[in-house]
Structure formats: C-alpha cells, structure tokens
Amino acid sequence: MTYTCVGDTVNLAAHLEAHTKVVGQPILIDENTRNGLADGIRVESHAAAQFKTRSNTVPVYSVPSGQRP
C-alpha cells in the first residue's frame, strides 16, 4: 500500500517548506497555525509571500528553534 496526501493544506505546506530557503529559517508557519499556538511560543513575522498556486499573499512566520511550550 501507498498513501498520498493531497489538497490545499499539503500544497501550502510544500510552499512554506520551499520558502525556508528564501528567509533562511528552518520552520515556517502560516497565520492559521500561528493562531493555534500557545501564548508562550514566540514567532517572528516575515514579509507576506505570494505563492504560485494562491491568489492571495500568505502571512509567513518563523518559529525560532529551541523553544519549549
């Protein structure tokens, strides 16, 4: 058996992963994920990105490594 994930969420995750090279951060998240984080987790805002398969720009945030919730 093989499993494949498809859909908008997977597509956005692939774009964010590729965008890590642009901003030089290993972990990038979007606004929806940021809103779901605990208050104690710090994020850094980056310029919104325009990805090829999206009509609107996506706010991009990085999560500095080494944080504990």
Domain presence at residue 68: no
| Per-residue pLDDT at 69 | 52
Task: Please report whether residue 45 resides in a domain.
Answer: yes
Q: Which structural domain, as residue segments, surrounds residue 31?
A: 8-62
Question: Quick check: is 67 in a domain?
Answer: no
pLDDT score at 40? 86
Q: Is the pLDDT of residue 59 over 90?
A: yes
User: Within 13 Å and on the Cβ side, how many CA atoms surround 37?
Assistant: 18
Q: Does 25 fall in a domain?
A: yes
Residue 2 covered by a domain:
no
Kindly report the pTM of this predicted structure: 0.83
For residue 1, is it within any domain?
no
Of residues 26 and 64, which shows the higher confidence score? 26
pLDDT in tens, 35-54: 999 988 899 999 999 999 88
Residue 69 lies in a domain: no
Helix (H), strand (E) at residue 11? helix 8-23
The answer to whether residue 14 sits within a structural domain is yes
Count of domains for the chain: 1
pLDDT at 67: 63
